[in-house]
Amino acid sequence: MKTDSKVPIHLIFYSGPSHGWLRVPKAIALEYHRCPGRNISAFSYFDEDYIYFEEDCDAPRFLDWIQTTDKKYELLTNNIEDESFIRNKEGT
């Protein structure tokens, strides 16, 4: 699924007391995953609409990839106290 490169993609980095995840719309994450060598680790999570890329492995690789595309994005940070809303999602 191709996305409109003129509309910014909203990425949110959730930073918790012990870990962090980058929330990426599922369609964009799957586009990334289809590229050769772009695997997603077992430390990332997903729900119906988003994949939450783990901060140490998956998020940096995704951000490196998106910078090589013509996609525009906004990166926001959200500090969270309770990580359970992410950790309770399905693992990849």
Q: Where are the domains of the chain?
A: 9-91
For 32-70, what is each residue's pLDDT tens digit?
Answer: 988 887 889 999 999 999 999 999 999 999 999 999 999
Q: Identify the bridge partners of residue 14 per DSSP, sorted by sequence position.
A: 21, 78
pLDDT-derived band of residue 2, with 50, 70 and 90 as boundaries? low
The SS3 call for residue 44 is coil
Nearest to 12, CA basis, from 47, 43, 67, 55 = 55
